[in-house]
Amino acid sequence: MARLVMKFGGVSVADGKRLRHVGEMAKQFRDEGNEVVIITSALQGVTDQLLECARKAAKEGNTADVEDFIKRLTERHNQTAADAIKDPKILKEVQEGTANKLNDLEKAYVGICYLGEITPRSLDYISGYGEQLAAPILSGAIRDLGIESKDYTGGDAGIITTSDYGDARPLEKTYELIPERLMPLKGIPVITGFIAKDEKGVTTTLGRGGSDFSASIIGAAIGADEIWFWKETQGVLTTDPKIVPEAKTIPAISYKEAMELSFFGAKVLHPRAIEPAIKREIPVRVKCTFDITSAGTQIVHSDVPKKDVIKAVTLAKNVALLNISGAEMIGAPGVAARAFTAMARTGVNIIMISQSSSEANISVVVDARHLEKAEAALVTEFPHDQVKEITHDNGISVVAVVGSGMAGTPGVAARVFKAMGGANINVMMISQAASEHNISFVVRSKDAERAVQELHREFGLYGVL
């Protein structure tokens, strides 16, 4: 008997059949005696389409395109509802709701066509429709299965945020309002992920992929026993199964480990999204929609020891290396500060940093898309003075091994690099933060997948975890 908050998104809510399945799953967990609250994101792909149509409307101002898009959205949601809900009365009610919402949405788009511009505020208003259309269908499917259910927007459920449109943050009072609005639970409430309201009642969003964040805010606020994120993958895996087909589900990882993982491409959950849950020590689980009985991965507050220290190996491919060097940098304070400030100003995402103790060079790995602007920023910042040379290399990848057990365990780095040496893979740059949760290194992209395979084998990640 537990209080469970469950979040569904992506393929789990792609169409009516899947929504029906979600409803049935929720019913099953409730029938077993649990309390269940559902957070849903938009039907798969809808948020992208909403944003795309808004940009097009602002640019081209073609109201016929808008009409066409609204027609397609109407058809898709009506079909989804028809596939998810059998009772004609519930179906009719839900489809009427869809029509009303899409009517309002169309007006907003037409407004944008005439104005020729979109503001962050109007983008939030528009992009939040995907969830507002999906939640009533799911709630209807649950009622159709004989269980009381009501749909809420995030704002109605009590998520009140700052007015930072596109990236709003919940205010502290959210955690009091949610239990006031939802508790005691009546049946299975279905709440839209992603969207909220600011203090003036204007729609805000929590950033792309924000439904996970909504779920952990709600779970934290109602004191859930666990928060479950249903995904299409089998929880968090030891590595990318496309590289190592034998990759396995990790049964338990700490929040810190999860954070290290998501920085390196294993983006199952954004660490920021689960922060409210972790702060209150609510266990978070990543479960697979297609395999409902499997336990998935549990993400917990404190470290979970593992006999062999490494839990996962990750690979980041779309990255590039920048090297700043010059003899004058030696013993000259402020070079690093200037370099990082210059890159930050242009919005460069820095993935890895290393400086040798000689201080003659600083190497950074950046997002490949940011390479050009990062280099330009550095060239402008250091015309001729201390820095002699700025070079780049975009044929590289970052490999990382992750596991909190390596903290204070000697020999992990030795094993990593011995494995690379044995496989004849050249290591170009190395970085480990003092937290010792992660050793990252740069190799040539052509060697990267082989490096991952070697490490997966070296640390016995095929075996029992």
Q: Which residues bind ligand ASP (CB under 6 A)?
A: 9, 41-42, 47, 130, 193-194, 208-212
CB contact set of 450 (below 8 Å; sequence gap of 6+):
423, 425
- Please report how close the Cβ of residue 128 comes to Mg ion at its closest, in angstroms: 11
Min dist. Cβ of residue 181 to ligand ASP (A): 21
How far apart, in whole angstroms, are the C-alpha atoms of residue 80 and residue 91?
Answer: 10
Read out DSSP for 291-340?
-TTS--EEEESS----SSS--EEEEE-SEEEEEEE-GGGTT-TTHHHHHH
Min separation Cβ 267 and ligand ASP, Å? 12
Q: Which residue has the tokens 């099953």?
A: 28
Q: Can residue 41 be called a binding residue for Mg ion (CB under 5 A)? A: yes
What residue type is assigned to position 28 of the chain?
Answer: Q
Q: How far is the CB of 138 from ligand ASP (least distance, A)?
A: 14
Whether the CB-CB separation of 455 and 417 falls below 8 Å is answered with: no
Among Mg ion, ligand ASP, none, residue 194 binds (CB under 5-8 Å by kind): ligand ASP
The answer to whether the peptide bond before residue 283 is cis (omega within 30 degrees of 0) is no
Q: Do the Cβ atoms of 8 and 22 come closer than 8 Å? A: yes
Q: How many CB atoms lie within 10 A of CB 280?
A: 15
User: What is the distance between the alpha carbons of residues 343 and 372, in angstroms, rounded to a whole number?
Assistant: 11
Give the nearest distance from C-beta 196 to ligand ASP in angstroms: 12
The count of C-alpha atoms lying within 13 angstroms of the C-alpha of 431, restricted to the half-sphere facing its C-beta, is 17
Which residue number places its CB atom closest to ligand ASP? Answer: 211
Please say which residue, 45 or 421, places its beta carbon nearer to ligand ASP: 45
One-letter amino acid identity for 306?
K
**Other C-beta atoms lying within 10 Å of the C-beta of residue 190:** 29
Question: In 284-319, which positions are buried (b, 16+ CB within 10 angstroms) versus exposed (e)?
Answer: bbbbbbeeeeeebbbbbeebbebebbbbbbbbbeeb
Nearer to ligand ASP, 152 or 459 (CB): 152
Select 11 or 243, whichever has its Cβ closest to ligand ASP. Answer: 11
Residue 128's binding partner among Mg ion, ligand ASP, none (Cβ under 5 to 8 angstroms by kind) is none
Among the listed ranges 42-50, 73-81, 336-344, 383-391, the one in contact with Mg ion (CB under 5 A) is 42-50
CB of 317 to Mg ion, least distance (A): 23
In this complex, which beta carbon is closest to Mg ion, that of residue 3 or of residue 18? 18
Partner interacting with residue 189 (select from Mg ion, ligand ASP, none; CB below 5-8 Å by kind): none
CB of 210 to Mg ion, least distance (A): 9
Within residues 62-91, the interface with Mg ion by CB under 5 A covers: none
What's the Cα-to-Cα distance from 104 to each of 109, 110, 121, rounded to whole Å? 9, 10, 16
Instruction: HSE, CB side, 13 Å, CA atoms: give it for residue 420.
Output: 24
User: Which of 127, 254 has the CB closer to Mg ion?
Assistant: 127
Residue 210 interacting partner from ligand ASP, Mg ion, none (CB closer than 5 to 8 Å by kind) = ligand ASP
Query: Smaller CB distance to Mg ion: residue 7 or 370?
Result: 7
Of 209 and 403, the one with the shorter C-beta distance to ligand ASP is 209
Build a one-symbol-per-residue string for 142-171: x at contacts with Mg ion by CB under 5 A, - elsewhere: ------------------------------
The three-class DSSP label of residue 149 is: coil
* Residue 94 partner contact from ligand ASP, Mg ion, none using kind-dependent CB cut-offs of 5 to 8 Å: none
In whole angstroms, how close is the CB of 129 to ligand ASP at the nearest point?
A: 10
For ligand ASP, give the closer residue by CB, 121 or 208.
Answer: 208
Give the nearer residue to Mg ion in terms of CB position, either 127 or 249.
127
The secondary element (H helix, E strand) that includes residue 204 is strand 203-205
Rounded to a whole number of angstroms, the minimum distance from the CB of residue 310 to ligand ASP is 30
For Mg ion, the binding residues (CB under 5 A) are 41, 47
